[in-house]
Amino acid sequence: SQKIEQNSEALNIQEGKTATLTCNYTNYSPAYLQWYRQDPGRGPVFLLLIRENEKEKRKERLKVTFDTTLKQSLFHITASQPADSATYLCALVGGYSTLTFGKGTMLLVSP
């Protein structure tokens, strides 16, 4: 069956460092992969999408890579700030335009 895995342990980093989050998937051949941010008690918010023919995508301090051979996406936040603290979810598209989400990784950026 299709499976998406994100590191369940929280990632703690210091302000100014680069945070790197991992999303691994099995039994999928996705055309694209999405990343969302979720703050406590709120709905997820879309951040970035990367297509299978794109190796890398950037948006301000965010960078996403997509390796279809390794079946892995990496999500980087450079020059991290305490305001970046949140849970980050990756998602893959299924049938009828549904998305299957990973369980998310919590990022904690300390001053």
Partner 1 sequence: DVKVTQSSRYLVKRTGEKVFLECVQDMDHENMFWYRQDPGLGLRLIYFSYDVKMKEKGDIPEGYSVSREKKERFSLILESASTNQTSMYLCASSLPGEGTDTQYFGPGTRLTVL
Provide the binding-site residues for partner 1, judged by CB under 8 A: 8, 32, 34, 41-46, 49, 89, 91, 93, 96-104
Instruction: Give min distance, CB of 22 to partner 1, in A.
Output: 16
| Cβ nearer to partner 1, comparing 78 with 99 | 99
Q: Identify whether the C-beta of residue 79 lies closer than 8 Å to the C-beta of residue 50.
A: no
The number of CA neighbours under 13 Å toward the Cβ of 55 is 0
Tokens of 37: 């941010």
Instruction: Give min distance, CB of 99 to partner 1, in A.
Output: 6
| Cβ nearer to partner 1, comparing 41 with 111 | 41
| Cβ nearer to partner 1, comparing 17 with 42 | 42
Residues contacting residue 15 through CB under 8 Å, at least 6 positions apart: 80, 81, 82, 109, 110, 111
